[in-house]
Amino acid sequence: MKPLVVKQLSRTFKGHKVINDLSFSLDRGLIYGFLGPNGSGKTMTIRLIVSLIKMDRGEVFIEGKDLNKNREEALQHIGAIVEDPDLYTYLSGRQNLEHFARMSQKPISEERIEQVIDLVELTNRIDDKVKTYSLGMKQRLGIAVSILHQPSVLILDEPTNGLDPNGIKELRYYLRRLAKQDGVTLLVSSHQLREVEVLCDRAIVIKDGQAVDEFDLRSSATESTYSVYVTASPEADAYTQLAQFGNVEKNENQFVIYDQPYEQIPAIVETLVQQNVRYMRFVTNKVGRALLLVIRVREG
């Protein structure tokens, strides 16, 4: 049995079909990236899955429980942070956990509270007020709250928003630990595509409320290309020469060409030199498949 199955999910908002017959499923113990351009329906999908809003039609099964028919039973198997963690900053971390434990329909023991404190490594600060926590610590406490009832599925909407590189690295460690040690299945929506490629096992890409691709991020055959950033003059000549290699975007004082295979890069340099285009800056960034797919979705 798959821990989460979404079938033909649809939702209309202000006369616009935001989610349109969306279907996908998750395999147990894997971390999934949930990708798509702004406005593609990622957050709306998450809100539908966790029953914050009602679907127009479709089905969601969480551990085989039909969300439409057995809402409370289905939601016992899922945890979520949609946007920012919902915490009481005037309480301590422990008091927050105790409060949410009392609110849970499933009995939660003191032992379980200690387990999640240990899991997110907040033992040394758990009795301090949350208002003194860093953003990364608040995210970790939010995850602790969301897994108190031992869900088998955890959904996170933009969990790295506002985190510094060290905070992102720490969060990545805890999420991997949840998946690999506890067998929790994660669905992580994020606009930080590099982080998705590092963290996730698989990725689901949506556009206009429909799933357009799903792929394995751990495969050795994962596609990768390069983005090329060029600052050159004369600009008109630079644009003409670069356009031979693909779509060119002007970004402030530089040109950008996406989706270039590695072996193409020397040819780009050679063309600029032969045509007497003087370049002051030439930078390449490797683009993994997650970023490449979203670039293509945006263009298409």
pLDDT digits (tens, 9 = 90+) for 231-287: 888 888 888 888 888 888 887 778 888 777 777 777 888 888 888 887 666 666 665
Q: Give the three-state DSSP class for 216.
A: strand
Place of tokens 């009392």: 102
Residue 176 has pLDDT above 50, yes or no: yes
Of the ranges 173-187, 222-236, 243-257, which one carries the lowest mean pLDDT score? Answer: 222-236
How does strand 248-251 pair with strand 254-260? antiparallel
Q: Which residue spans within the chain are E strands per DSSP?
A: 4-13, 16-26, 31-35, 57-62, 65-66, 78-82, 153-157, 185-189, 202-207, 210-216, 225-233, 248-251, 254-260, 278-287
Q: Which helix (H) or strand (E) holds 48?
A: helix 42-49
pLDDT band at 299 (very low <50, low <70, confident <90, very high): very low
Instruction: Name the pTM for this structure.
Output: 0.74
Q: Which helix (H) or strand (E) holds 174?
A: helix 165-182
Of the ranges 50-54, 65-69, 296-300, which one carries the lowest mean pLDDT score? Answer: 296-300
Rounded to whole angstroms, the Cα distance separating 150 from 113 reads: 11
Q: What is the per-residue pLDDT for 286?
A: 60
List domains and CATH numbers for the chain: 4-216 (3.40.50.300), 225-299 (3.30.70.980)
Query: How many Cα atoms within 13 Å fall on the side-chain side of residue 160?
Result: 23
Of the ranges 76-80, 94-98, 231-235, 249-253, which one carries the lowest mean pLDDT score? Answer: 249-253
Q: What is the per-residue pLDDT for 220?
A: 42
